[in-house]
Structure 1
Amino acid sequence: MSPRDYLLYACVIFGWSTSWLPLKGQVGFVAPEVSVLWRFIIAAALCFLIARLQGLKLAFPARLHLRFAALGLMLFSTNFTLFYYASPHLASGLLAVVFSTASLLNILILACLSRSAPPPRQLLASVIGLGGIVLIFLPELRLSAAALPALSLCVAGTLFFCAGNLVSASLQKQHVPVMSANSWGMVYGCGVLSLYALVLGNPFIIDGGSAYLTGLVWLAVFSSVVAFACYLTLVGRIGAGRAGYATVIFPVFALLISTVFEGYSWTVLSAAGIGLVLAGNLLMLRSR
């Protein structure tokens, strides 16, 4: 890889691993879905600006807008809202570990949709990785009754993310630029988030504290736009397989951040579980 590739890789890992701690600071005074709404209003505006500056197509027929709406529902609203609701009950590093199993869950979803068994190596990777999740959360379940519901929310959020990836892939097959699709997807996601807030009766307020606003800008600009753009650039330069190793690395850094700033306590079970999750992701990437 070239020096530029290493720089892109570093940006992706840094952006993804540092997003989980500020995410926890977005919940409290402001309802989770409202915090996610502010995040994607900013991110959508930036994506439209980037798409316009790059001269990308932004006008599409109504049939594609239905897919943009599905993308917004799955990838830019519901999945994040579920993680935000889970965040008060789990260490930020554990949120990252669950999210990193997306590549494992993708295989199971595709197998269900195609009604055919996945290749043995990919099935083994999924079993290893998901078994690691069980080991990681055994100590958490013993310490907190809220850990299991929070884990369920994270798994559901990851499944929504996986479904959103399928929608995104279908749009790319129709030659819709990723940045254009994401721009519209975020707009529809903001609509979904607004609906969630209205149904739940949560006010559209914002926390004026510096910690909240700094975290919001970081999540919207760097984690949602810059890091993702770097990742897509990396995919184009070195391929999806090699770029995908970021999913193996960023949970480790997220857990280290959680250990330093949140006092996450490592146990033999959690260490073994994290090792299995990373091994499952690594095996999955090498089997592609």
Structure 2
Amino acid sequence: MNALLFLAVVLIWGLSWFAIHLQMGAAPVDVAIFWRFVVSVLMLGGWLALTGRLRRPSREVAPWPAGMGACLFSCNFLAFYSSEMFLPSGIVSVVFSMSTVLNALGLWLFFRQRPDVRVLGGGLLGVCGVAMLLGGGLGGGAAAAMLAGVGLALLGTVLFSLGNMISRRIGRFDMDLPNAVLCSMAFGMFVMGVNVLTQGHSFMPPLTLRWLSGLLYLSVFGSVAGFLFYLMLVRRIGADRAAYTTILSPVIALAVSAIFEGAHWSGLMLAGLVLILCGNVLAFARRRAVPRVVEVEQG
């Protein structure tokens, strides 16, 4: 069962980046994100209501899901969707995989949990990988697009990591995670709705098979099923081992991007992608336990 859950999360999140690509150009990105979370909120809220688990947050808790919604379910996606206007989805997914290292650094900054030296080494490899990624794409007129795309992907990753820190803070209150996520998604939906209005965009979604299929996948699988499967995996094998899904899912995204988007990468860019992935593996490789020697006194 654990292996099936692990594989499901890797596949769902690996394909999510291409599903975002399917929605590019047909409508403004804020409209796509708004409708993604309209469907997700209706599904998750309906499931909680039917199972009798729907809860209203207290006044004390309310600001925290709002912050998580801004970081995890609106502004970060605005950055990710926008980055795919400049970069293949596979590259965006690899940049996002650096969130595992950023999470460890966030725990150090906000919760005084000092990271292992391998996490710092993994972060250094990731930074070098991003530099090589940029260097390999800085040729001709594509330089500005590459810089913009990687910058937006990094911004989205930082916001995602901040959202993870907020979710950890919410854990100190008497509020279960599914209800916290529902409130956060609802706030993110509200933020995107306000953005659509202020930008003068139409709420009317494109009624094309390509756009609607991307919306359906991202709402049902990417946001609801993927999240619930991941939570089940965390409960069964622990958060540290479940984090490997974010390292392996970019491999799926890169393969799909190469096949369906016709993405082409220089040797330097490929080396940068490998360095980022290796940095994540180094950061989350389990340290081999050192056996304790127990001395027995002679009596």
User: Is 2:130 aligned against 1:159?
Assistant: no
1:275 corresponds to which residue? Answer: 274
- Which structure has the bigger radius of gyration? 2
1:1-288 correspondence runs (5 A):
4-113=1-110, 118-143=115-140, 144=142, 145-286=144-285
One-letter identity of the residue aligned with 1:171:
I
Structure 1 residue 228, shift from structure 2 partner = 1.2
Q: From the superposition, tell whether residues 29 and 264 of structure 1 become closer, same or farther in structure 2 (CA, over 3 Å).
A: closer
For 2:109 and 2:62, locate their aligned partners in 1 and report how far apart those are by CA, in whole Å: 26
Q: Structure 1 or 2: larger helix share?
A: 1
Q: From the superposition, tell whether residues 117 and 222 of structure 1 become closer, same or farther in structure 2 (CA, over 3 Å).
A: closer
- Normalised to the residue count of structure 2, the TM-score between the two structures is 0.90
Structure 1 residue 285, shift from structure 2 partner = 1.3
Q: From the superposition, tell whether residues 166 and 114 of structure 1 become closer, same or farther in structure 2 (CA, over 3 Å).
A: closer
Structure 1 residue 287, shift from structure 2 partner = 5.7
Q: Which runs of 5+ in 1 are unaligned?
A: none
One-letter identity of the residue aligned with 2:173:
Q
Q: From the superposition, tell whether residues 65 and 114 of structure 1 become closer, same or farther in structure 2 (CA, over 3 Å).
A: closer
For 1:41 and 1:219, locate their aligned partners in 2 and report how far apart those are by CA, in whole Å: 11
For 1:115 and 1:222, locate their aligned partners in 2 and report how far apart those are by CA, in whole Å: 34
For 1:44 and 1:137, locate their aligned partners in 2 and report how far apart those are by CA, in whole Å: 37
Structure 1 residue 114, shift from structure 2 partner = 6.0
Q: From the superposition, tell whether residues 119 and 242 of structure 1 become closer, same or farther in structure 2 (CA, over 3 Å).
A: closer
For 1:116 and 1:66, locate their aligned partners in 2 and report how far apart those are by CA, in whole Å: 24
Q: From the superposition, tell whether residues 229 and 117 of structure 1 become closer, same or farther in structure 2 (CA, over 3 Å).
A: closer
One-letter identity of the residue aligned with 1:78:
C
For 1:57 and 1:29, locate their aligned partners in 2 and report how far apart those are by CA, in whole Å: 35
Number of aligned residue pairs: give it.
Answer: 285
Structure 1 residue 202, shift from structure 2 partner = 1.7
For 2:113 and 2:51, locate their aligned partners in 1 and report how far apart those are by CA, in whole Å: 41
For 1:21 and 1:273, locate their aligned partners in 2 and report how far apart those are by CA, in whole Å: 21
* DSSP-derived class of the 2:55 partner: coil
* DSSP-derived class of the 1:19 partner: helix
Structure 1 residue 221, shift from structure 2 partner = 0.4
Checking the alignment, whether the CA contact within 8 Å between 1:13 and 1:246 is kept in structure 2 is yes
- Normalised to the residue count of structure 1, the TM-score between the two structures is 0.93
For 1:133 and 1:238, locate their aligned partners in 2 and report how far apart those are by CA, in whole Å: 31
Q: From the superposition, tell whether residues 136 and 173 of structure 1 become closer, same or farther in structure 2 (CA, over 3 Å).
A: same
Structure 1 residue 117, shift from structure 2 partner = 6.7
Checking the alignment, whether the CA contact within 8 Å between 1:99 and 1:158 is kept in structure 2 is yes
One-letter identity of the residue aligned with 2:95:
V
For 1:117 and 1:12, locate their aligned partners in 2 and report how far apart those are by CA, in whole Å: 28
For 1:184 and 1:34, locate their aligned partners in 2 and report how far apart those are by CA, in whole Å: 20
2:292 corresponds to which residue? Answer: none
Q: Which runs of 5+ in 2 are unaligned?
A: 288-299
Moved more, 113-122 or 198-207: 113-122
Checking the alignment, whether the CA contact within 8 Å between 1:30 and 1:206 is kept in structure 2 is yes
